[in-house]
Amino acid sequence: MQRVDIKNLSFSYGNIKVFDNFNLSISTGCLTTILGKNASGKTTLARILTGSLKYKGNINIPKNIGFIEEDLDYNYDMVMDLLVSKIKNFKKNDIQKRIFNISVEFNFSKYLDMKLNELSWLEKKLIVLGSYLINGVEVLILDNFFEGFDRKFKTEMQKKLRRYAKKENVTIINFTSVAEDILYADNIIILDDGRIVLNGSKRMVLENEEVFEENEFELPFVVSLSNKLKFYDLIDKVYFDEKKLVNDLWK
């Protein structure tokens, strides 16, 4: 089932054309990662989807959208104030249950009684993420959200978001310029100069090494290592998870 459907999208900044008859469909209940360099059109597309930029064409997308970009204004004193600020359609008991469950699942329960100015920038990002999940958004758009997180925590969060998308039937779209961020996506789209150069499953996309080279992206480390080991017949498949690769090598 398609949750986001873009048809014949055109958009320009003055005389600079960003999209020209651009088409894309994104399924519900999955984590889709859109990978592109700076000026590829990522942030523009994210803002078009949230309705903050006027465009030509047709976009079918739910109204209940969350959007987390790099620069956020935290106009609240307490963490709880921000968490409940976007809630609209839940009863009080349901809200309390959602706050507890989501704060535990996404590692911010220890901040619930704190002031926002007591938290780091990365901790505040977790609270904003939580506020949208607690609200039950149908589409969550992340623009370079994982920038600044260490590798282990980023991996953990991406796995959790992927599971959450399936469990809650939420569409999560992660816009990023970091190739490592595609490892835990259900679907991957590579964007360049307002065009889709590759769109498909993780395995299909990562098998197209030449596309990564043409767009000056390095393959994720575990995929690059897998390719080398496979070339020497030390393994018989490409791995997307370092832990699984190590475990299988030591069997």
19 Cβ contact partners less than 8 Å away, ≥ 6 residues apart: 9, 10, 11, 41, 44, 45, 55, 194
* Mean pLDDT within 25-53: 93
**CB neighbours of residue 114 within 10 Å:** 15
Q: How far apart are CA 134 and CA 137, in angstroms?
A: 8
Q: How far apart are CA 8 and CA 56, in angstroms?
A: 8
The continuous run of DSSP H or E covering 34 comes out as: strand 31-35
pLDDT at position 169, please? 94
Q: How far apart are CA 240 and CA 227, in angstroms?
A: 11
Looking at the chain, the whole-number percentage of residues with pLDDT higher than 90 is 58
Q: How far apart are CA 203 and CA 191, in angstroms?
A: 17
Backbone angles phi and psi of 105, in degrees to 5: -65, -35
Q: How far apart are CA 137 and CA 190, in angstroms?
A: 25
Q: Is the pLDDT of residue 70 over 80?
A: no
- What superfamily would CATH give domain 2-202? P-loop containing nucleotide triphosphate hydrolases (3.40.50.300)
pLDDT at position 73, please? 63
Q: How far apart are CA 91 and CA 194, in angstroms?
A: 42
pLDDT tier for residue 192 given thresholds of 50, 70 and 90: very high
Q: Is the pLDDT of residue 21 over 90?
A: yes
Q: Across the chain, what does the average pLDDT equal?
A: 90
The continuous run of DSSP H or E covering 174 comes out as: strand 171-176
* Mean pLDDT within 26-53: 93
Residue ranges of the domains in the chain? 2-202
Give CA 68 to chain center in angstroms.
10
If we measure between CA atoms, which residue out of 141, 214, 140, 153 comes closest to residue 180?
153
**Residue in this structure with the two tokens 């995929």, named with its chain if needed:** 223
Contact (Cβ atoms closer than 8 angstroms) between residue 50 and residue 89: no
pTM, entire model: 0.91
pLDDT at position 219, please? 86
If we measure between CA atoms, which residue out of 88, 87, 89 comes closest to residue 99?
87
Q: Is the pLDDT of residue 2 over 80?
A: no
If we measure between CA atoms, which residue out of 152, 110, 155 comes closest to residue 130?
110
101 Cβ contact partners less than 8 Å away, ≥ 6 residues apart: none
The pLDDT tens digits for 110-166 are 999 999 999 998 899 999 999 999 999 999 999 999 988 998 899 999 999 999 999
Q: How far is CA 43 from CA 19, 46, 127, 163, 177, in A?
A: 12, 5, 22, 25, 11
pLDDT at position 209, please? 82
If you count them, how many residues does the chain have? Answer: 251
